[in-house]
Amino acid sequence: MTRKTAIIVGNGKLQRDLSQIVDSAEFTMRFNEPKTSIGMSGSRTDILMLAASSKPMQRRLTDSAFLTSATFKAAREVVLAYHPDIIRLYHPKPNFLSRLKGRRSDWTMRTIELVGAAGKEIRIMPPQFYIEGCAELGVTESRMCQLFPSTGFFGIRYALSQLPADEWDVKLCGFSWEGWKRHAWLDERRWVADRIASGRISLLI
């Protein structure tokens, strides 16, 4: 039986134009603001996974360009990677002066309001999904207030849980495993390398 193709597009630079390959896939996932790959990764977006926490999400929610972007408009479903309980328990909190400026750590409800008003289906991943993901990366309870797995990692993990290996060929592109210093980049790179070695996923380059 011929397997279907799923492509998970990270927010890093692409080496070539993959638009035709991505748009012809049966499933495509993207994350937050995929600006770097605009024009090189097509437009299909079955799932857009967002991190409804911290300053970047506040900026997106106050920027009309985000809600009118091609990626957001194409998204069939929006998935919030971090449950509010996880944000409350583990994620960084803005300091007093930042709070006076309107900063807060959890933008879940505002995200639901705006995404829902745009007619998108919304899914919030349960707390256990986050905890189990940390365990797979080796991020122990004592480190969960210092290291935070990325939406990219959780997106890949979620896609693999939903797409059976005997039916789907899962490919990654645009992942550099670098960025915010408090993401668990080394652990995530190792986790992905293990699944590439096992044949569960492959790289689209």
Q: What are the tokens at 114? A: 């705006």
CB 59 within 8 A of CB 65: no
In one-letter notation, the amino acid at residue 120 is K
| 189-200 pLDDT, tens digit each | 999 999 999 999
For residue 134, give both structure tokens: 């940390």
pLDDT by residue (tens digit) across 149-164?
999 999 999 999 999 9
pLDDT band at 92 (very low <50, low <70, confident <90, very high): confident
* 43 DSSP assignment: S
122 contacts 112 by C-beta, under 8 angstroms: yes
Q: For residues 14 and 5, what is the distance between their CA atoms, to the nearest angstrom? A: 19
pLDDT for position 37: 77
Q: Identify the band that residue 38 occupies on the pLDDT scale cut at 50, 70 and 90.
A: confident
**Least confident among 88-97, 137-146, 155-164, 176-185:** 88-97
Q: Are 50 and 32 in contact (CB under 8 A)?
A: yes
